[in-house]
Structure 1
Amino acid sequence: MTRFEKPDSALDYDLCRYGASRVKFRGPKRPLDGEYVAAIGGSQTYGRYVEVPFVDALEAQIGEPVVNLGGMQAGLTLIADDPDILRVAKKARLTVLQVLGAQNMSNRFYSVHPRRNDRFVSASASLQGAFPTIDFTEFHFTGHLLKALTDSGQSALTPVIAELKTAWVSRMEMILRAIPGETVLLWMADRRPEDPSQLGNPLDPHYVDREMLEKVSHRTAGIVEVVADDIARSEGLQGKVCLEHETQAAEAMPGPLYHSQVATALASVIRQPGNARRADISRRVS
């Protein structure tokens, strides 16, 4: 197995690749020649700064390999455009797909980096025309871009948000169509889908709401929602492994308690037979 660990990292993430993918995933690398569960997502699925991410805890609870396909700062653009992520998911007996935000994906108003989807690349002519006073060369991240557009208070923001929502539904349906096996959506956030987006929180699934989830739910076994409680939100640096210069970033990431709660919630439905699993998930989100 090829290793890519960084010498300045406090944790050995045992980074690996699957297939020809250029994405470095958290290891150890799991074998793909038997039965396994695939977990696709972003930074939370990757499990930065925690020794036991929910993927590993889930693997221990269900007793079978769980392949970690979480990418740091990943959005739907990475998942949809990387053929090896979907190739691994196609062979899985079940796939857990983390609900990612609508902001970190290319759309008709702006484009993002193909792998680090939180990085803003360029604005379309229509976006520049809608916000003529904004210098788009000043932005490097989608969060900064959308905050500036929001702070401008212009009504031109409305079609941008509408486009993000529409593009998210379309991209999600494309991803779900590409996975023939059973798929469970994972809502891992500080809020419920019907609550307003937390635009100041970089890990929030920005602009995704209950209506959008319902539009794609017919292609899934359902949604497992694990909303962080007050204790999980107050973990801070407790139980996290990081270097001194990483403390600010580490504080914003989910801690070991929240990862454990997510693993337990997923395991309780994954261990059940298909029909019972779908019924149980339906009860959880009703």
Structure 2
Amino acid sequence: MSYEVPGAGALENVPCRYGDSRLMVRGPQRPLDAPYVAFLGSSDTYGKFVDRPFPALAEIALGLPCVNLGCLNAGVDAFAQDAEIMRIAAAAKGVVVQVSGAQNLSNRFYRVHPRRNDRFLEATPLLDAIYPEVDFTDFHFNKHMLYTLYTLSPRRFDALRQELQAVWVARMRLVLRQCGSRAVVLWLRYRDETGPLGADPLMVTRDMLEQLKPDVGKILEIPVTAAGRCGDMPQMRFGAMQAPAAELAIGPTAHAQIAERVVEALPQVH
């Protein structure tokens, strides 16, 4: 099966909102009154810098509406806490759930923004006790905070890592159990290491995915390379100020490859 890699056509990148959901997801809005496939995920599923992200390409191949519920910078919390999004996923003929990093979850050590899960809100007294020398008002993003804490003390950081990984498994189970055995978990593994915490999705391990197997139909692991390293930038849409973010995102070639693999993993919806 082959997919055309779109060029500089019209960019269907206007966000939309379904029903009572507070999440802004990738448009255009798709009908929900006929069989459809739902895609839950973060920025890769949304596909900010590409004309047709993999849910749109899968829609062409499947001949079914594919509802792109990708939300920029969302983590598992954004979906688990949104009743309308979970209702749409539960009613779908098939569901694809992209793996997001473990850093973007509220936990015993810190709270994140309920929708923009990459945003750090506040530390709890427990985290203040572990890192008394840190002024947490200096941080706005989880990743920046966690890199700083790891640099200060890898030993103390182990408690955060274990907490985040345990919470990630629990929240993913919560989402997947509402989707049922029709769900495909999509693990996009970035080939390039990004720092001491590893490659995206941060702190997610194979063992964590193994723990999800009783609650999922299939786990689909796909290695991907950021657009800045594979020559996809000329086929993407971004302004001058967005170039650094576009370099780290996946481009149209990767989206086409992901769509092909996803379609193969969803035979029950053909």
Structure 2-normalised TM-score?
A: 0.90
Match of 1:221 among 217, 220, 234: 217
1:257 and 1:177, CA in 2 relative to 1: closer, same or farther beyond 3 A? same
- Structure 1 residue 197: Cα displacement: 6.7
- Superposition pairs of residues 23-172 of structure 1, within 5 angstroms: 23-172=23-172
> In the superposition, relative to structure 1, how do residues 43 and 149 fare at CA in structure 2: closer, same or farther (>3 Å)?
same
Judging changes above 3 Å, is the alpha-carbon distance between structure 1 residues 104 and 162 closer, same or farther for their aligned structure 2 residues? Answer: same
For residues 54-101 of structure 1, give each alpha carbon's deviation from its aligned partner in whole angstroms, at most 9, with x where no partner exists.
Answer: 010011111111000000000011011111110100110110000111
Cα contact 2:104–2:142 (8 A) shared by 1: yes
Instruction: Name the SS of the counterpart of 2:188 in structure 1.
Output: strand
Which residue in the other structure is 2:241 paired with? 245
- Find the aligned partners of 2:22 and 2:199 in 1 and give their Cα distance: 23
Counterpart residue number, 1:4: none
Q: Give me the whole-angstrom Cα distance separating, in 1, the residues matched to 2:28 and 2:199.
A: 24
Cα 1:245–1:200 change in 2 (3 A) is farther
Query: Match for 1:259: what amino acid?
Result: H
State the Cα deviation string for residues 240-267 of structure 1 (Å, max 9, x = none): 0011211111111110000000001111
Offset of residue 180 of structure 1: 3.4
What is the identity, as a one-letter code, of the residue corresponding to 2:213? S
Asked whether the equivalents of residues 109 and 127 of structure 2 are also in contact (C-alpha less than 8 Å), the reply is: yes
Q: Which runs of 4+ in 1 moved over 2 A?
A: 196-203, 229-233
Distance in 1, Cα, partners of 2:70 & 2:226: 25
Could you tell me which runs of 5 or more consecutive residues in structure 2 were left unpaired when the two chains were aligned: 1-9
Q: Is the 8 A contact 1:188 1:226 kept in 2?
A: yes
What's the RMSD between the two structures over aligned residues?
2.3
Once residues 169 and 90 of structure 1 are traced to their aligned partners in structure 2, the CA distance between those partners, rounded to angstroms, is 19
C-alpha distance in 2, partners of 1:13/1:113?
Answer: 23
Cα distance, 1:72–1:241 mapped onto 2, change above 3 Å? same
Q: Does 1:206 align with 2:202?
A: yes
Can you list the C-alpha shifts for 1:113-158, whole angstroms capped at 9, x where unaligned?
0110000000010101101111111000001100101110252111
Amino acid at match of 1:260: A
**For the Cα contact (< 8 Å) 1:93–1:181, is it kept in 2?**
no
Partner secondary structure for residue 115 of structure 1: coil
TM superposition shift of 1:15? 1.9
TM-score, normalising length: structure 1: 0.86
Counterpart amino acid of 1:253? A
Give distance in 2, aligned partners of 1:158 and 1:74.
Answer: 24
**Letter of the aligned partner of 1:225 in structure 2?**
E
Q: Which amino acid aligns with 1:221?
A: G
Letter in 1 for 2:215: R
Contact 2:58 2:66 in 1 (8 A): yes
Q: Aligned residue for 2:4?
A: none
- Paired residue for 2:231? 235
Residue 198 of structure 1: CA displacement? 3.8
Secondary structure of the corresponding residue to residue 180 of structure 1: helix
The verdict on how the C-alpha distance between 1:158 and 1:200 changes in structure 2, with shifts beyond 3 A counting, is closer
Taking the aligned partners of 1:65 and 1:199, their CA distance within structure 2 comes to 38
* Cα displacement (A) at 1:229: 5.3
**Superposed counterparts of 1:248-263, under 5 Å:** 248-263=244-259
Instruction: Name the aligned partner's letter for residue 22 of structure 1.
Output: R
SS in 2 for 1:179: helix
**Cα distance in 1 between the residues matched to 2:251 and 2:196:** 19
Task: Give the superposition deviation at 1:238.
Answer: 2.3
What one-letter code is carried by the residue in structure 2 that aligns with 1:222? K
Contact 1:238–1:255 (CA<8 Å) still a contact in 2? no
